[in-house]
């Protein structure tokens, strides 16, 4: 069947490669036309994955409307800050009764909506039961290399989540199924904030003890907020919570860990993000976590210190010291 991926950045390219052996046509679109031209001419995404030749059945479309036409699965892999714009572009031409998958890990700034909520606000109501969130510990590079990967698909309807599961099922890619749409997305978005904190500790040379403590405390904070927002705590200690957090806090391919590491070494955020060349979702998620926790009167010390470093210019070494000096939150 034809499947469609909107957004061919690092992660979208990897998901296209995972789907290519399983489906006849994998049609991809991106707002960056040079990526599509590179794919058409060289079978490569030269910006994000130079040197990796992609399967021939991954074909570019030069408008999002063309990409979604007659697709049996539509996957949004655009950054969280572009989700609304792209959803509105295709809202009038999406095929009916097919899984609509949100693969971005973030919370929309301003509205504080999760990605599935953004899609629901943009798409007609009959499409809402078909919206799925796909998340879990998954570095794009390792998916492209064919390394084993396990993710979670959560949807309102179990049959829709299972269609997503079946679409990706292979010897190296497994998708678990959940009904906890909220928990999966809170874990996906806020683990990036914890990864920045873990990276700062590492950049400061504070050792493995500090990183383990930050990861554990951060996961508890994310779980607490997730439960307050209607999520299941078990979800936050599964693949899309703890699994994703461990990967993002420790893996050398993690953009958010790398951002924190550079901050810990004394570099400034604008310089770090310019050099990164990709989105570090934890930067915007730190602001969202700050607002969400304030509104719900939840103490989230790890996330709060990251917010102060990113948005108030607090030195990372002072942030870690202040976090250590605080009493632990009560759960």
Based on the fold, state whether residues 160 and 110 are members of the same structural domain.
Answer: yes
Based on the fold, state whether residues 192 and 171 are members of the same structural domain.
Answer: no
What predicted TM-score, i.e. pTM, was given to this entire model?
0.94
Based on the fold, state whether residues 202 and 129 are members of the same structural domain.
Answer: no
Based on the fold, state whether residues 156 and 197 are members of the same structural domain.
Answer: no
Based on the fold, state whether residues 25 and 174 are members of the same structural domain.
Answer: yes
Number of domains forming the structure of the chain: 2
Q: What is the pLDDT of residues 272-288, one digit of tens each?
A: 998 887 777 899 999 99
Q: What is the pLDDT of residues 40-81, one digit of tens each?
A: 999 999 999 999 999 999 999 999 999 999 999 999 999 999
Q: In the structure encoding, which two tokens stand for residue 185, read together?
A: 């997305």
CATH value at residue 147:
3.40.50.720
Enumerate residues 6+ apart whose C-beta is below 8 A from 8. Answer: 16, 28, 29, 30, 32, 35, 36, 39, 45, 60, 77
Residue 26's pLDDT is 98
Mean pLDDT of the chain: 95
Based on the fold, state whether residues 308 and 276 are members of the same structural domain.
Answer: yes
Based on the fold, state whether residues 90 and 222 are members of the same structural domain.
Answer: no
Residue 1's pLDDT is 85
> Catalytic residue among 2, 105, 163, 191, which?
191
What's the burial of 322, exposed, middle or buried (CB within 10 Å: 0-12/13-18/19+)?
Answer: middle
At residue 177, φ and ψ (nearest 5 deg) are -115, 140
Tell which residue, 122, 128, 120, 138, has the closest CA to residue 97.
Answer: 128
Based on the fold, state whether residues 202 and 257 are members of the same structural domain.
Answer: yes
The answer to whether residue 24 is catalytic is no
- How much is the CA Rg of the chain, to the nearest whole Å? 19
Residue 281's pLDDT is 86
Residue 70's pLDDT is 96
Q: What would you measure as the largest C-alpha separation in the chain, in angstroms?
A: 58
What range defines the domain where residue 169 resides? 2-179
Residue 327's pLDDT is 81
Residue 308's pLDDT is 98
CATH value at residue 267:
1.10.1040.10
Q: What is the pLDDT of residues 285-322, one digit of tens each?
A: 999 999 999 999 999 999 999 999 999 999 999 999 99
331 pLDDT above the threshold of 80: no
- Please give the average per-residue pLDDT across 122-128, as a whole number: 97
Residue 326's pLDDT is 87
Q: What does DSSP say about strands 149-155 and 131-135: parallel, antiparallel, or unpaired?
A: antiparallel
In a domain, 331, yes or no: no
In a domain, 274, yes or no: yes
H helix count then E strand count, the chain = 16, 8
Helix (H, G, I), strand (E, B) or coil at 30: coil
Could you tell me what percent of the chain has a pLDDT over 70?
98
Based on the fold, state whether residues 196 and 146 are members of the same structural domain.
Answer: no
Based on the fold, state whether residues 152 and 251 are members of the same structural domain.
Answer: no
Q: What is the pLDDT of residues 153-209, one digit of tens each?
A: 999 999 999 999 999 999 999 999 999 999 999 999 999 999 999 999 999 999 999
Based on the fold, state whether residues 96 and 123 are members of the same structural domain.
Answer: yes
């Amino acid at each position: 069947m034809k499947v469609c991926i909107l957004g061919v950045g690092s992660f979208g390219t990897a998901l296209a490669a995972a789907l290519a052996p399983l489906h006849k046509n994998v049609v991809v679109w991106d707002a960056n036309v040079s990526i599509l031209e590179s794919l058409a001419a060289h079978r490569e995404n030269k910006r994000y994955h130079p040197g990796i030749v992609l399967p021939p059945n991954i074909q570019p479309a030069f408008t999002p409307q063309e990409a979604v036409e007659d697709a049996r699965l539509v996957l949004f892999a655009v950054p969280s800050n572009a989700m609304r714009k792209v959803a509105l572009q295709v809202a009038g031409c999406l095929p009916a009764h097919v899984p609509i998958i949100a693969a971005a890990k973030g919370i929309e700034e301003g509205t504080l909506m999760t990605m599935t909520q953004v899609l629901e606000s943009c798409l007609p109501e009959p499409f809402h039961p078909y919206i799925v969130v796909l998340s879990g510990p998954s570095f794009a590079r390792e998916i492209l290399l064919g390394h084993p990967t396990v993710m979670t698909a959560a949807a309102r309807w179990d049959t829709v989540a299972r269609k997503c599961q079946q679409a990706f099922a292979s010897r190296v890619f497994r998708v678990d199924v959940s009904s906890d749409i909220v928990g999966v997305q809170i874990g996906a978005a806020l683990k990036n904030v914890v990864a920045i904190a873990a990276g700062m500790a590492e950049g400061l040379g504070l050792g493995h003890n500090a990183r383990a403590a930050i990861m554990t405390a951060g996961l508890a904070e994310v779980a607490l907020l997730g439960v307050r927002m209607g999520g299941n705590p078990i979800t936050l200690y599964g693949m899309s919570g703890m699994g994703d957090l461990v990967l993002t806090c420790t893996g050398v391919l993690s953009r958010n860990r790398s951002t924190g590491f550079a901050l810990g070494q004394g570099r400034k955020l604008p310089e770090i993000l310019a050099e990164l060349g990709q989105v570090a979702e934890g930067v915007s998620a730190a602001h969202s976590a700050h607002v969400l926790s304030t509104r719900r009167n939840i103490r989230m010390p790890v996330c709060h210190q990251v917010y102060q470093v990113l948005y108030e210019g607090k030195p990372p070494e002072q942030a870690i010291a202040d976090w250590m000096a605080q009493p632990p939150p009560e759960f």
